[in-house]
Each structure stands twice: as structure tokens, then as C-alpha cells.
Amino acid sequence: MSDAPSRRTLMTGAAAATLLAPGLAGAAAKAPARDADMAAIRKAAEAGYDASVKRIQDWIALPSIAAENRDMDKGADYMAALARDAGFTGVEKIATDGAPGVFGVLDVGARRWLAIYFMYDVKQYDPAEWSSPPLEARIVDKPGFGKVIVGRGAVNQKGPQASFLAALHAIRAAGKKPPVNLVLVCEGEEEIGSPHFRQIVTRPNVLAALKTCEGVIIPAGWQSPSNGGVSVNLGAKGVVEFELVASGEKWGRGPKTDIHSSEKARVDSPAWRLVQALTTLVTPDGNTPAVDGYFEKVRPLTAREKELIALAAQRMTEADAKKALGVDRWIDDLPWEKALERLASQPTINIEGLVSGYTGPGGKTVLPGRAVAKIDLRLVPNMTMDDAVAKIRAHLDKRGFNDVEIKVSGGYDPTETPEDSRLIRAQLASYKRLGAPATLYPRLAGSWPGTVFTSPPVSLPAGQFGLGHGSGAHAPNEYYVIESSNPKVQGLVGGTMSYVDLMYEIAKAK
């Protein structure tokens, strides 16, 4: 089903309510005023389709990359302009010790407030690995999906975020007001672990605005292509990113710079030093952290969490998961439900990359003076970033690796959100109304800085929401569906309307 206005007949009145999503034809009688609003907003979203597409493309064309300190001020200024254009007032760029953030409010005098989290930074990219230039945001036909925008940041997070902005434009174009007031909080360092985001959120005027809210959402586009299903996550793992560095200079052995490899016969190797340190961090198969005391704060899955995972195993398709990941087997050949339990419950120590010496074409026969491992940790309740790093430091020191440096670049603790919170109940109600099968899941295996919202002093429910589909985050050929050929999955307009629906659900939730 395409969402492009050129391929859809625009309808009015009660019939237009059927355009909102599958399964909505019978809902109009229950809430005629709401459905009349939704029909008018849908018509405006259809009319604004081209502008919405261009908004995504123009945003992709400006890559703010925190890891490279690239265009961070420009990215914040552009984010602020997008916010003002969508109707936010009091929009300001907030300085931090790192990249700036952006804050604004949209107060329409509604009874309730909802907070929205945006990030304007994206991951690095290598154009040689892409089928089309990553900043051109070309529209291409993707078999089985329809028309998609290909570009860095397409799904993580500019496509879904721009779809939320499109909802505000459509509401205004339809002559309506949002059913809730909004607080927008944005950062530019999510892709490096949000090291300064707390400075933005705890600024007095930002904190005061957040304290009025029912919860916080981050726009998402994760519908399953097989059944259109979505997950409602009751939390997310925390993350820590750091480098382990072994060098001849710090070690006092081996070369201080690269030397000829023939010298290995009599000179120590910092690269092998790093390898030896790394092998102590995990079990021999590399699958379980072996750091002293690493599991002492890990909270086991509760009975309710296990129940939710068992239900998820019935509703989610193992074959689809393996196909999406390009894997054939899980760790220890675990069955599907046990693999899901491990995904939700286990902390990890992962090697993102290893860098040492010469890595170009052919050989260079050097003995490197320095070796670096880029590491990320995923943390589960009740672990903390500071405690995990301290345990790794103590573990290495105890084994004589005092010289191996730990250089932390960013990270944050895990999050948890109550199942009975108004935010979660509204999400489930909205997905049900929109005909999207929703699976309540204990914990997102990935990470986002939701802990800044869920922990004191903010202490709000927080999570992801949105219809639509995209994939390839952090990878080449990242894409976001704008015209869906899959009747199970919404395109740009359907995704836009899902945010409108959630706002109405938040407004009326008891």
C-alpha cells in the first residue's frame, strides 16, 4: 500500500477514517470528533507529502558527525530551524562541554504534556561501501518494500524524526491544534554515548518543562516487514564506549613507534600485549564477560519479564530475525526463546574494532608501537557505567596490565519504564487502534540515553514509538520507507499519522 498522494484517492468524512491504518473502519462511530480530526489531518499529510520527503532529504544532506566533530554547530542550528518551522517556540541552542543541544516547547493550552527526544548526529560512513552517495538521499525502489530514501541517518534517526515533524505540519495545515503540549529536547552526541546530554536535560528551564510531561518518546520506524508488528520496550540496555590502548611508551617495553618486524626476535610487541589483555575479559569462546565481579549487580529476569519474552517468542519470527542479521545460529545453538532471554538479560563486552600497525594493501613488515581495541559494553539493570568501567580497570590491574589504558568516550546506564505507566498504556492502545500487532518486551538490546529521563531528577517513563520501516542503521545503504508496497508496513504518511494518533491517546488516557 503506497502512502504517496499521487497513488491514493483522497477521501473525506467518515470514509477517510479508513485511511488511517488497517482495521479502523469501525472506530469512527466510537469517536466521531477524533476521527473527523484525523481524517482532516491525514488529508493535510497527504498534501504535504512532497514537502515531507524533501525535509528528510535536506536533513540527510547535512551530516553532523560527533565522532569527527563535523558540523556540530551547523547541525544544531538546522535542528533549531526545523523545530521553529514545526511550531515550537522559545527554541534555543544550548551549549554544553561538547556539542550543543536544542530545546523548545509547543504549548497549545492542552491538559497534558508529552516530551520528544531527537538526536541530530549520525554515524560515520564510507561512500565506497554505498550503492548511492550517502548524503544525496536518493529515492530508489527496494523490492519488497517500495520507494525508500537511502542515506546516512535515513532511519537513525532523521526519517522517523522528520515524520514526527510532518505530523505537526499536517495538524497545523488542517487547522487543528495538537491534543497535547510538547517539549522537544535534542542532542548532537548520541552516536558517541551522549557524554554531555545530562547537562542539557538538567538545565533549569529544560528540567522544569520536562517535569510537566507524561513521558518521553523517541520516534522509531521498526515495523516488521513480515507482519507489520512492533515492539513496545519497557527499557533499554545501557552502553559504554571506550578504547583499550597498549603502547610501548606506557608499557616501558616494546617500541615507542613502529619498527621493522625482524626486530620481533628481540623486542616485545604492544599488539600482542593488547591481545593478551583482551583475552582475560571474556570466556574462551568470547561470549560471556569474565571480568571479576562483573555479574554481582546484574538483576536476573523477573517472572513477568520471562513471561513477556515467552509471548514475544510466539509472536516474533526467528527466521526473520536471522535473515535480518545475516546469521544462521545463535550462541550455543540456543533455541529461539532462550536466545531472546539472553538478548534481554546478558551484559556484553564487545570488540568493535582492532587497530594496530599497517592495515593497507599488501604487507609492510612492521612491529607496531601501539595497538588499540575499540570496545563497547551493554549493561543491564542494576549495572552502572561507572561501576562497569571500574571493574574492568581493577581486573586488568590485578593481572598486571596496569599499562593498558582505558579511554572512555561516552556511555550511560540502562533504563526501565513501568508497564502500567500512562505512556506505555497509550502506546499499546494506539498500536491496537492502528492495527499494528504490538509485542510488549522487557528490554531493547540496543541503547539510547533514556536513563537521563528515567532516572532522577527527571524520573519519567520513556521509550520508542512509531509506525513505518527502515533499516541499515550504522551500516551502508541505510534506508527509510516513504512509499510502502507492503500492506503490512506503513510508509511516510502512515508513520506520520501514527504520531498524531499517539498524541490523541496520551490526551485521553486515564
Listed in sequence order, the DSSP H helices in 268-335 are 270-279, 303-315, 318-325
253 shares its domain with 380: yes
Are 152 and 49 within one domain?
yes
| Reported pTM | 0.88
| Domains identified in the chain, total number | 2
Tell me, yes or no, whether 104 and 249 share the same domain. Answer: no
Residues 112, 137 within the same domain: yes
Residue 151 forms part of a structural domain: yes
Do 143 and 222 lie in one domain? The reply is yes
DSSP H or E stretch at residue 218: strand 213-219
Does any domain span residue 272?
yes
- The per-residue DSSP string of 194-212 comes to -TTHHHHHTSHHHHHHHTT
Chain position carrying cell 534506508: 479
Query: What does residue 187 show for φ and ψ, rounded to 5 degrees?
Result: -135, 170
Average pLDDT over all residues of the chain? 93
pLDDT in tens, 30-55: 467 888 999 999 999 999 999 999 99
User: Which of 411, 446, 461 finishes a domain?
Assistant: 411
pLDDT at 4 (0 to 100): 44
Q: Quick: pLDDT tens for 61-94.
A: 999 999 999 999 999 999 999 999 999 999 999 9
CA dihedral 419, 420, 424, 426 (to 10 degrees): 160
Q: For the segment 100-126, what is each residue's pLDDT rounded down to a tens digit?
A: 999 999 999 999 999 999 999 999 999
Express each pLDDT in 55-69 by its tens digit. Answer: 999 999 999 999 999
- The whole domain housing 359 covers 238-298+347-411
Q: Name the amino acid, one letter, at 129.
A: E
Same domain, 92 and 16: yes
Indicate whether 436 pLDDT > 50: yes
Q: Does 385 fall in a domain?
A: yes
Residue 335 lies in a domain: no
Q: Return the bridge partners of 438, or none.
A: 230
Q: Is the predicted pLDDT of residue 155 greater than 50, yes or no?
A: yes
Same domain, yes or no, for 53 and 166? yes
Residue with C-alpha cell 620481533?
264
CA–CA distance, 335 with 164 (Å, rounded to integer): 38
Do residues 504 and 403 both lie within one domain?
no
Residues 277-330 pLDDT 10s:
999 999 999 999 999 999 999 999 999 999 999 999 998 889 989 988 899 999
Residues 104 and 68 in one domain: yes
Whether residue 173 is contained in a domain is answered as yes
Residues recorded for the chain: 510
Query: What SS3 class is residue 377?
Result: strand
Amino acid at 297: K
Q: What is the pLDDT of residues 220-258, one digit of tens each?
A: 998 999 899 999 999 999 999 999 999 999 999 999 999
Residue 294 is part of a domain; what is its CATH number? 3.30.70.360
